[in-house]
Structure 1
Amino acid sequence: MALAGQVGNAYWPDCSPAREEYVTNFRSLIAAMPMTKQGARAKHLGIPLSSLSNYWTGRRVPSEATLHAIYGAVRGSASGVPVRLDQLERLRKSAARRKVNLVASPQNSDIRAAERLSHLVSAPSSPCGAVSAQRPAHDRRNSQNGKAGETVGALLAAQSTGDRRGVIGIAWSASKALTDEELCDAAADLYASEHSSLGEVLLLGGRERGHEDTMRLAITLLRADLSDQAELVLRAALPQGGN
């Protein structure tokens, strides 16, 4: 990974032309910062270095809220910004339309899993289907009173004290103890309250989850209108090539 020191310029091999165009403009935005090292940039932006690395290569596209937060942080540190936010958001939407290719693996089990995902997403929603990042306040209060709310509170408390190990530990424990619906609720609360980096850590806290568990969580997120987060979970579960 070149981003620990000097910044690599290669695109993620699976980038579409639309995503490459977005990444080019995103890199221009980040390059306007006075810091030259990605570690310092990520710290100033308040996101994990791994997230900035993924955004820089085009492996992942940030959510709208995350992009707005990054743009605001860059404007606060740079003498000038080379790209408008509305232009960058338009490009981001085009780049994000390219969803993860679930049948990229030649294994028949992966093909069958993709077919199940297609059928299940179109099936009647579970109770979590009513949950979204913009859900009504009374629904948010319901989640805040249960395990999801306790998890969100613990993550925010750990972050406020700079306890990064604590954040990771809480996310790992939550991935084992919470149901998919509770993880969905907690993630939706974090993204809705503009704590997207914590939402990302929470969803990736169970990287070792099995294939079926990954599919179920992704479906739950999709039904909650958290499509970017569902893609995040699926991408993390895909076999990584090279590097």
Structure 2
Amino acid sequence: MAARGQVGSAYWDGCNPARQAYTARFRILISAMPMEKQGARASYLDIPLSTLSNYWIGRRVPSAADLAAIHDAVRRSAPGVPDQLEHLERLRKHAAVRRNASAEPQQECSNIRAAEQISTASPTRPFQSDSSAPSSQSGTIPAAGPAHDRHSGDEEKTGETVRALITAQSAGDRRGVIGIAWSASKALTHEELCTAAADLYASGHPGLGEALLLGGRERGHEDTMRLAITLIRAGLTDQAELVLRAALPRGGRRQP
């Protein structure tokens, strides 16, 4: 089912995973506005409806200045919306990079296929609509650093990732879930991935937890081991085994 005020859930065919991840987060920002119609939202943002529609499907990416203006306008319309411009801008930079079709990295396509396999193979049917909100279990995960501001920043990033995944799932936006998981696997530290995954499992979204952990399925051997160790230290041994198994080639043994 389409999200409230949504003119269409499909992405533009030319969206790569980075652009899908940005677009999914941009949709969450726009959907926070109190107006239900896209036309009313565009009018309030002082941009043409066609422009907002192109931003919504990922066909176009706004400039940094335009994104900042949209972000500020959304927050004026909905004062409770937290400041997320810095994170949006990081995603926007990756999304705005133009790539030739012939130069598209093969790994990117593999990441999409891997995440799609997770979503379709999970016995928990992770992409069914679920309106339950995530409960924070981050206290069971080792903090990324001793400073309070660092800890708060980590919680904000992991919380945003968890909320974005649940929102995309509730909207039936499977490609959005894939894009967010792929992006998060590249942007978050091992501790942040562990915290976000723990929150998803604890709040009854194991399929999303798997998608998040396996979103970077083609990570290197050292990176895989570090993530697995972090999960084990947090008591997530089954999830650590999942990550390690996913890193093995077909047949269950790593090639010499």
TM-score (norm 1): 0.43
TM-score (norm 2): 0.41
